[in-house]
Structure 1
Amino acid sequence: MSLDFGLILKQMPDILSGLWVTLWMWIVATLLGAALGFLVAVGRRYGPAPLDWLLKLCVEMLRGTPFLVQLFLLYFGGPFIGLRLEPIPAGLLGLTVYAAAYFSEIFRAGFQAVPKGHVEAADMAGLSRAQILRRIILPEMTMLVLPQCVNMAIVLIKETAILSIITVPEMTMVIGAIGSQQYAFVDAMFLLAIIYWVLVEICGFLGRLAEARLSKFRFAAS
C-alpha cells in the first residue's frame, strides 16, 4: 500500500468548497462565541446573584457535555420542541453556543486577574464605573486572556470536523466522501490531517503576532 494523493487532488474544487465552509463557519462561530461569552462574563460579574447562578448553570452544562452530544440534541432533538434547523444553521448555532461557554470562563478569569489596585486607583481618580471598565479593565484583560482565546480558537478549528455528523458540507465530510468514492480513505484522512495542522499553525502564528504587538503597546503605554 502506498499513498497516492493524485486521486484525491483531482477533486480539488470540492475540497476547496469544503475548506471554505470550514473557514467561514469557524470564523463566524469564534467571533459570535467570543462576543456572547463576553456578555455572559459581564452578566456574571456585574449582574444580580440569580443571573449569575443561571448563567453559571448553563455554562457548566455546556462545558460538562461533549460537543457531539450537544450537536445531536440540537439537530435531531430540536424538532421535538419546534426547533427545526438545516445542517449549516444548526452547526453554526451549536458551535457558537459551545464556544461561548468556554470564552465566558476565559473572560471571567480575565476580569478577576486585573489587579484590584488599578481599579481602586481609577476609582480614586474620579473615573465612573463605565470609564473604569473601558479604560482600565478591558485593555488589561485583553492582554491577559489573548493566549487563552487563541487556544480556544484552535480548539474550535478542530471541532468543526464534528459538524460532518449532521451533514454540514465542511472539509471533513467532503474529503471523507472523496476518499470513500476513490477507495483511498487513508490518503484522504492523511491529507485532511495536514490541512487541519496547517490551519492550526496559521492561527497560532497570528495569535503570537497579535500578542507581541499588544505587549509592545502595553510597554509603550507604561
Structure 2
Amino acid sequence: MTFDFALVLENVPNIARAFGVTLGVWAGAVVFGSIGGFAIAVARRWGPTPVGWLLRAFVEVIRGTPFLVQIFLLYYGGPFIGLSLDNIPAGLFGLSVYAAAYYSEIFRTGFEAIPKGHLEAADCAGFTRAQTLRRIVLPEMTMLVLPAMVNMTILMLKETAVLSIISVPELTLEVSAIGTAHYAFVESFTIVALLYWGLTDLCGRAGRLAEARFSRYRFSHS
C-alpha cells in the first residue's frame, strides 16, 4: 500500500471548504457557549433561587448525556415540538448549548475560588459592586479559569466531528465521503488527523500565550 498524494491534492478544494465549515461552527459555538455559560454562572450565583435550581437542572442534563444523543434528538426530534432547523444551524445551536453547560461550570468554580478576603477588602475600600466585579472578580476569575477554558475549547473542536451524524458538511463528513468514493480512508483520515492536531496545537499555544500575558498584566497592575 502507498499513500496517494494525488488523491489528496485533487480533493484540496473540497477539504478546504469542509475545513472552513468546521472552523465556523467551532468558533460560533465557542463564542455563544462562553457567553451563555457566563450568563448561567452569574444567574446561578446571584440570581433568584428558583432560577438557580432550573439552571442547575439544565446543566446536569446536558453534562449527563452524550453530545451525540443531544444533537440527534435536536435535529430529528426538534420538529415534534415545533423546532425545525437545517443541519448547520442545528449543529451550531446544539454545540453552543452543549458548550454553555460546561463553560458555566468552569465560570462557577472560578467565582467560588476567589478568596473571600479579596471581596471583603474591596468592600472596605469602598468599591461599588460594579467596581468589585470589574477590578477584582473578573480579572481573578479569568486567571483561574483560563487553562480549563482552553481545554474545553479544544474539546469543542473535536466534538464538531459528531455533527457529521446530521450531515453538517464539516471535515469528518467530507473526508468520509472521499474515502468511500475512492476506497482511500488512510489518506483522507490522515489529513483530517493532521488538521485537527494542527488546530489543537495552535489553540493550546494561544492559550498559554494569553495566560502568560494576562499574568504579567495582573502583576504589573496589582
Q: TM-score range by the shorter chain?
A: over 0.9
2:81 aligns to what? 81
Contact 1:176–1:185 under 8 Å retained in 2 = yes
Instruction: Point out 4+ residue stretches in structure 1 off by more than 6 angstroms.
Output: none
User: What letter is aligned with 2:25?
Assistant: M
Q: Over the residues paired in the alignment, what is the CA RMSD in angstroms? A: 0.9
Deviation at 1:182, TM superposition (A): 1.3
Instruction: Give the structure 1 partner of residue 113 of structure 2.
Output: 113
Give the structure 1 partner of residue 25 of structure 2. Answer: 25
Asked whether the 8 Å contact 1:8–1:179 carries over to 2, the reply is no
1:125 partner letter:
A
| Distance (whole Å) between structure 1 residues aligned to residue 42 and residue 176 of structure 2 | 41
Q: How many residues align?
A: 222
Aligned to 1:90: 90
Matched to 1:34, the amino acid is: S
Q: Does 1:146 align with 2:146?
A: yes
Q: Aligned partners of 2:125, 2:219: CA distance in 1, in Å?
A: 22
CA drift at 1:6 = 2.3
Match for residue 49 of structure 1? 49
Matches within 5 A, 1:61-210: 61-210=61-210
Deviations 1:82-101 (A, max 9, x none): 11000000000000000000
> What's the secondary structure of 1:127's corresponding residue?
coil
AA matched with 1:37: G
Give the aligned residue type for 1:46: W
**Alignment gaps of 5+ in structure 2:** none
Question: Matched residue of 1:153: which SS?
Answer: helix
Q: CA deviation at 1:4?
A: 1.8
Deviation at 1:157, TM superposition (A): 0.5
Where do 5+ consecutive residues of structure 1 fail to align?
none
- CA deviation profile, 1:161-182 (whole Å, cap 9, x unmatched): 0011100001111111111111
- Partner AA of 1:110 in structure 2: G
Determine if contact 1:8/1:178 at 8 Å carries over to the other structure.
no
- State whether residues 5 and 188 of structure 1, in contact with CA within 8 Å, keep that contact through their aligned partners in structure 2: no
Q: Which amino acid aligns with 1:172?
A: T
Deviation at 1:132, TM superposition (A): 1.0
| Cα distance in structure 2, aligned partners of 1:19 and 1:127 | 47
Most deviating of 99-108 and 187-196: 187-196
Amino acid at match of 1:74: L
Deviation at 1:129, TM superposition (A): 1.5
Q: CA deviation at 1:186?
A: 2.0
Distance 2:192 2:198 in 1: 10
Secondary structure class of the residue paired with 2:190: helix
The 2-side partners of 1:18 and 1:207 are apart by 25
- What SS does the corresponding residue of 1:215 show, helix, strand or coil? helix
Partner of 2:221: 221
Structure 1 letter corresponding to 2:143: M
How far apart in 1 are the matches of 2:64 and 2:45?
21
SS of the equivalent of 1:126 reads coil
Corresponding letter in the other structure for 1:184: A
- CA offset digits 1:49-79 (Å, max 9, x no partner): 1111110000000000000000001000001
Offset of residue 5 of structure 1: 3.2
Identity %: 61
Preserved contact between residue 15 and residue 175 of structure 1 (Cα < 8 Å): yes
